[in-house]
Amino acid sequence: MEINLYDVYGSAVAYIDEDGTIYLWGGKPVAYIYDEDKIYGWNGKHLGWFSNEIVYDLEGKRVGYTDYASPRSVYGNPVKSVKRVKPTKMVRSFPKTRPIFSSKESSIRLKDFLEDGSVI
C-alpha cells in the first residue's frame, strides 16, 4: 500500500511506494526508507526520519505528514505520473544521531527536503 505525504500546509507532495521508495507526484524517485525509519537520498545522504507517520529533518523538526498524522486538513491528491526509473543507490553515509523529535515544524519545504537526496 502506498503512503501519501503532505507538507506542513496540507498539500500533497510525495508518496512512499510499497518497496520504501519515495516519489514526488511527478514520478521522480527522490529518496527511500532504510532500516525501517531512516530516510536516505539516492546520493547516499541521510536526510532524516519517518516515524509515527511524520517526516522529521536531521534536527528533529517536522517536515511532512501522512494524512492521518497531519495537524491540518489535507488537500486532494494530484494524478500520479508514471514512475521514472530508480537511479543506482550511492553508498549511504553513516546515519546521524537521532534527535529528540519535536512538535516544531521545520522551515524546510518537504519537496526541497526530499530533493536534497536526488541524483537525477
pLDDT tens, residue by residue, 26-43: 999 999 999 999 999 999
Mention every residue, 6+ apart, whose C-beta is less than 8 A from residue 97.
Answer: none
Confidence (pLDDT) at 61? 97
**Of 6, 2, 1, the residue nearest 114 (C-alpha):** 6
pTM of the model: 0.91
Determine the Cα–Cα distance for residues 13 and 78; give it in Å rounded to an integer.
9
Whether the Cβ atoms of residue 70 and residue 28 lie closer than 8 Å to each other:
no
Sign of CA dihedral 26, 77, 9, 48: negative
List average pLDDT for each run of 10 residues in the chain, which is 120 residues long: 92 95 94 96 96 97 95 83 83 92 95 86
Distance between CA atoms of residues 63 and 49, nearest Å: 10
User: Quick one: pLDDT at residue 58?
Assistant: 96
Measured in degrees and rounded to the nearest 5, phi and psi for residue 101 equal -70, 140
